Structure 1
Amino acid sequence: MNVTLLFISGPEIIVIMLIVVMLFGADKIPEIARGLGKGIRQVKDATNDIKREIKDSSEKHGLDTDVTKDIHKEINAVKDNIDDFTGPIKRQL
Structure 2
Amino acid sequence: MILILNDVSGTEILLILIFVLIFFGSKSIPSLARTMGRAIRQIKDASNDIQNEIKKSGAEMKKDLNLEGIIKETAEDIKSPLDQMAQDIDRSVKYEPSKPSPIKEEIKEKSSTKVSKDDTKD
TM-score w.r.t. length of structure 2: 0.41
In structure 2, do the counterparts of structure 1 residues 31 and 54 end up closer, same or farther at CA, with 3 Å as the change threshold? same
Structure 2 partner of 1:13 = 13
| Within-5 A mapping of 1:5-84 | 5-6=6-7, 8-24=8-24, 25-26=28-29, 27-64=31-68
In structure 2, do the counterparts of structure 1 residues 14 and 59 end up closer, same or farther at CA, with 3 Å as the change threshold? same
C-alpha deviation, 1:20, in angstroms: 3.1
1:48-69, Cα deviation, whole Å (9 max, x unpaired): 11111111111122024xxxxx
In structure 2, do the counterparts of structure 1 residues 33 and 11 end up closer, same or farther at CA, with 3 Å as the change threshold? same
Identify unmatched segments of 5+ residues in structure 1. Answer: 65-93
C-alpha deviation, 1:23, in angstroms: 4.0
**Aligned equivalents of 1:17 and 1:46: distance in 2?**
33
TM superposition outliers: structure 1 runs of 4+ over 6 Å:
none
Identify unmatched segments of 5+ residues in structure 2. Answer: 69-122
Per the alignment, in what secondary structure is the counterpart of residue 14 of structure 1? Answer: helix
Query: Structure 1 or 2: larger helix share?
Result: 2
TM-score w.r.t. length of structure 1: 0.51
C-alpha deviation, 1:10, in angstroms: 0.9
Root-mean-square deviation (Å):
2.2
Structure of greater Rg: 2
What is the percent sequence identity of the aligned residues? 22
Alignment length (residue pairs): 60
**Aligned equivalents of 2:22 and 2:33: distance in 1?**
10
In structure 2, do the counterparts of structure 1 residues 55 and 31 end up closer, same or farther at CA, with 3 Å as the change threshold? same
Per the alignment, in what secondary structure is the counterpart of residue 41 of structure 2? Answer: helix
C-alpha deviation, 1:21, in angstroms: 4.2
